[in-house]
Amino acid sequence: MGLLNVFFPEAWVFIAMVGTFLLTVFLLRQPVAVSLLAGAVVGAAIAGAGFPLRHFVEGTFVYLDTILIISCAMLFMRGIQASGLLETVAHHLVRTFRNWPTVLLAVMTVFAMSAGMVTGSSTAAVLTTGAIAAQVFASMGLGKARVGALIAMAGLLGMIAPPVNIPVMIIGGGVDMPYEGFNLPLLLLTVPTAILASLWIGWRGIRRVGAESQLPPSVHGAYGWRLYLPLLLFVGLVVAERSFPTAFPSLGLPIAFLAAYLIAPLCGRRFNPLKTARQAVHDALPILGILAGVGMFIQIMTLTGARGMIVEAFAGLPRSLFYGSIAVSMPLFGAVSAFGSASILGVPFLLNLLGSGVIVTASALSLFASLGDLVPPTALAGLFAAQVVGEKNYVRVLARCAIPALFVIAVAVASLMGAPTLERLLFRSAAPSRGLFLGGVALGLAGAVLGLEWAKRRRGSREGA
Amino acid sequence: MAIRAARSWISGIVFLGGVAVVVSVSAVAFRDMHRDRPIYPGPGVTRVGMLSAYLGDLAGTGLDTEVYYLEGQTPGATVLVLGGTHPNEPAAFLAAVLLVENAVVERGRLIVVPRANRSGFTCTDPGEGHPQVYEIPTPGGPREFTFGSRATNPVHQWPDPVVYVNRLGQQLTGSEVRNLNRSYPGSPTGYPTEQLGHAITELIRAESPALSIDLHEASPEYPVINAIVAHPRALGLAVEAAMLLELDGMNISVEVSPVGLRGLSHREWGDNTDTLALLLETSNPAQGRLRGRTDAALVLTGQDKFYVRAGERNALYVRFTDRGWPLEERVGRHLQALVSLVEVYSAQHRQTPLVMQGVPQLRELRRDGLGAVLQPPR
């Protein structure tokens, strides 16, 4: 069957959808969400599906859960910002590590990742622990774009880090592979990568925090331990649900965020919860609209066959181009959603790679999918990181993420290619060899951080002299 | 200032009016999915009950569903058949419907649950672009059926947790909490889908079927396809039935239920009850990731050019040609495999066999189509 016969007319539909979207955004200067709707309407019409109102409406529900999580996470973040909790936590952290800026950079990166590790959501990570880490990074002298890039990268790698990695669960679900044995490879793929990415983005710009006045302000003295209750409540609800799934009711992330938000005005600086909520929703509205529009766009792509055309085009590339096609297509499709990329492309790719270290392969595929959170128009991690740091142009944040993202791709490609070896080393080698390998990685990482710390001090003392 | 405020009010009202119109118009289509398309009990049906008979809490909920009993004149083996565990797998549902509408049991008892997850028949999966209904022509006019979702309708169970840890400790992505075939053996007090799983397990405990067969479909790129998945206790039976089918010209493989994959019917029914648990799979391109245009024609014909291309590059686990995998072929495979399993069991248990007539077979369905064996609409 000739290529033209296979990929057309679906390719025309896709070109028309993307073309309409771009024209509406750039020429007619309409919001991204409206432009996505326009692309979907044109695509359906060109494919002969008319005006399928039911499909447009159904498409807006694709990301309903994500929309709710984002709305409530924004409330939570604005709430703990208004109560003074964000600045206070940052104050204590900076004070503790003020003489070790490189170590602080590495520690805060892992801290920023932690919410993503527990919730499996980069948005939740950026808007919670990321927001706290942002205060610390800012007080170390980093500019908005760099701080945004740091928490965006930490958020998306936190989403992939264990114990909760939703893309791997989705990919595994597609091939009946239980979510077991992933902790070690995921930890290995994410934590060193995140720390090295942070060092790349932030190390040159960080400085020791000298005077007390340079520290973020603390309101701990005024409110005491009560101040931390919203954060503790949120962590408690999430951890309880994860630890006791049969005994503790499943509230879901939105309710956990809301509950924490509701007690925030009673725990720190007073603020009007209604006014703050209105502001938070106002801030989140553009991205919520984009998610609804993307859902609609995807629904029409699937209806018209454009989605299948893209999947087959990438999955059907010759073996020599296969890893390249994964490295390009999964992050690009992740622009729609990292989870969507895992489901639509991750499953066929894993099926193609079955038998070659399947656990490490699935972990590496999830790493590719996560990068979708940096790809416009959604670019969830970049967008929210920009909001957290007050950077109006989120492209500046994304630009700072470009090299670290390429590094993530390199790590993922290397893991894919070396999956059988890595899996043998992690699961089937003798304990001493495994210990030697893992110890070597840990020591190398610690050596890199401490070496850079030493270099920073030397440079600082030279500049001081 | 006042003019700007008035304009903003007017645009707000116009926007809300537009939303109201869109919601009202589209709601008609979504509401219509909640109407059960009729199944016409055939001459073999002796009793129709509800699943809530096995778990009272299901009564009156969107998850309660019909149970059809086809009882013979003399005692014999009981066989349970589940269709519609995943309502986006239409061959599994229609095979069960054809049993209800055509089979006559002479000895033993057949219990059929065609819409195992009835809630899933009331919605489609957002983002998948599936048709809400498809029609099959019969001599008496077209029969309409809903094409549903893989999972329970969120209207009946929502929100999903971030991670679903099922009763046996298996960690799954949150949306699997609404997947009936991850919920077994279920729980009387758990999520509604777990309650549904519990009710089905209770049905098996109460009625003691010798065989319990869960009908499914899978995408052509899925490794377990055109297969019988058997609990270890049912493996010998499955192998013998597969050999008979191969002799009859129907290729089918046998897979053992994996120990590490918990919550699935073929594993948990077998581990938690005395039944011989089996699951049947056919190839359904309408649920695959490589599929092209997604409409009722794809559901019925199973023809798709992207799958043909994927087949040419050996990326599939079934042979995929321009002929595709038509619905009647897939339904026929299920029924043929079911009959074969029953025959092997009956031959091994001559004192307590299941003897039934009237089950449409693969050749008949290939020749005459589904419309010839579905009852005409009334």
The reply to whether A316 touches chain B by the CB within 8 Å rule is yes
Which of the residue ranges A177-186, A208-217, A293-302 would you say has the lowest mean pLDDT? A208-217
**Residue carrying structure tokens 């973020």:** A216
Helix (H) or strand (E) run with residue A14 in it:
helix A10-22
In angstroms, what separates the C-alpha of B254 from chain A's closest C-alpha? Answer: 16
Average pLDDT over residues B266-289: 96
d(CA B95, CA B374): 10
Alpha helices in chain B (DSSP H): 2-32, 90-102, 192-207, 235-247, 265-272, 296-301, 305-312, 327-348, 362-368
**Optimal mutation site among B130, B173, B281, B312, interface A, most CBs of chain A within 10 A:** B173
Distance CA B78, CA B348 (A): 14
Whether A176 sits inside 8 A of B258 (CB atoms) is: yes
The pLDDT value recorded for residue B227 is: 96
Nearest beta carbon to residue A57 from set B26, B171, B174: B26
Q: Residues of A with CB below 8 A from B171's CB?
A: 169, 178-180
Residue B80 distance to chain A (closest CA, Å): 25
Who wins on pLDDT, A292 or A43?
A: A43
How far is it, in rounded angstroms, from Cα B336 to Cα B250? Answer: 9
pLDDT of residue A73: 83
| Least confident piece of the model among A60-69, B16-25, B125-134, B201-210 | A60-69
pLDDT tier, A3 (very low <50, low <70, confident <90, very high otherwise): low
Arithmetic mean of pLDDT, B182-201: 96
| Nearest Cα residue to A378 out of A327, A330, A333 | A333
Which chain B residues have a beta carbon less than 8 Å from that of A10? 292-293
Contact B260 A295 (CB under 8 A): no
CB neighbour list of residue A279: distance below 8 Å, 6 or more residues apart: A78
Q: How many CB pairs under 8 A join A and B?
A: 159
Of B161, B171, B290, the CB nearest to A179: B171
Give A-chain residues touching B309 at CB under 8 angstroms: 1, 6, 312, 316
Inspect the interface and report whether the beta carbons of A302 and B127 lie closer than 8 Å.
yes
**Cα distances (Å, whole numbers) of residue A288 to A71, A74, A115, A253:** 8, 11, 21, 17
- Taking an 8 Å cut-off on Cβ atoms, the answer to whether A252 and B293 are in contact is no
Q: Do A1 and B313 touch (CB under 8 A)?
A: no
The alpha carbon of residue B356 is apart from the nearest alpha carbon of chain A, in Å, by: 35
- At residue A86 the predicted structure's pLDDT band, cuts being 50, 70 and 90, is confident
Model pLDDT, residue B153: 97
A430 to chain B, minimum CA–CA distance in Å? 24
Give residues with Cβ within 8 angstroms of B275, minimum separation 6: B80, B204, B208, B209, B210, B211, B212, B269
Q: Do the Cβ atoms of B224 and A119 come within 8 Å?
A: no
Show the tokens assigned to A278.
């209105």
What integer pLDDT is reported at residue A351 of this predicted model?
78
**Contact (CB<8Å) A245/B165:** yes
pLDDT value, residue A465: 53
Partner B contacted by A406 (CB < 8 A)? no
Predicted local confidence at residue A240, as pLDDT: 87
Q: What is the CA radius of gyration of chain A?
A: 23
Distance CA A190, CA A161 (A): 6
- Residues in contact with A244: Cβ distance below 8 Å, sequence separation at least 6, in sequence order: none
Q: Is the pLDDT of residue A356 over 90?
A: no
Tokens representing B253 are 């493989």
Distance (Å) from the alpha carbon of A289 to chain B's nearest alpha carbon? 14
Instruction: Grade residue B315 by pLDDT with cuts at 50, 70 and 90.
Output: confident
Q: Nearest-CA residue of chain A relative to B176?
A: A173
Architecture of the domain whose range is B45-372: 3-Layer(aba) Sandwich (3.40)
Reported as a pLDDT band with limits 50, 70 and 90, residue A462 is low
Which residue in chain A has the smallest CA separation from B295? A303
| Average pLDDT over every residue of A68-74 | 83
Give tens-digit pLDDT for A187-204.
999 999 999 999 999 998
Chain B interface test: which of A312, A317, A344, A359 (most B C-beta within 10 Å): A312
Does residue A292 register a pLDDT over 60?
yes
Chain A residues whose beta carbon lies within 8 Å of the beta carbon of residue B218:
none
Complete DSSP assignment for A279-304 = HHHHHHHHHHHHHHHHHHHHHHHHHH
Kindly report the number of other CB atoms within 10 A of residue A327's CB atom: 18
Cβ-based neighbour number of residue A308 at 10 Å: 26
Please indicate whether, in this complex, the C-beta atoms of A351 and B313 are within 8 angstroms of each other.
no
Min Cα distance B330 → chain A (Å) is: 21
Q: Does A101 touch chain B (CB under 8 A)?
A: no
Counting Cα atoms < 13 Å in the Cβ hemisphere of A40 gives 31
Question: How close does chain A come to B192, measured CA to CA in Å?
Answer: 13
Q: Distance, in angstroms, between B31 CA and closest chain A CA?
A: 11
What integer pLDDT is reported at residue B1 of this predicted model?
Answer: 65
Q: Which of A254-268, A285-299, B112-126, B219-233 has the lowest mean pLDDT?
A: A285-299
ipTM over 0.85 threshold: yes
For range A204-209, the mean pLDDT? 83
With 0-12 CB in 10 A as exposed, 13-18 as middle and 19+ as buried, what is A181? Answer: middle
Average pLDDT over residues A294-304: 90
The secondary element (H helix, E strand) that includes residue B69 is: strand B66-71
Condensed to tens digits (0 to 9), the pLDDT of residues B38-75 reads 999 999 999 999 999 999 999 999 999 999 999 999 99
The mean of the pLDDT values for chain A is: 87
Task: Point out which residues pair with B74 in neighbouring strands.
Answer: B107
C-alpha A287, offset from chain centre? 15
Residues A283-294: what's their mean pLDDT? 80
Instruction: Find all residues with CB under 8 Å of A109, minimum gap 6, and list them.
Output: A133, A150, A154, A194, A195, A197, A198
Domain spans of chain B, in order of start: 45-372
CB contact under 8 A, A6 and B293: no
Flag if A59 and B126 touch (Cβ within 8 Å): yes
Structure tokens belonging to residue B8: 């903003």
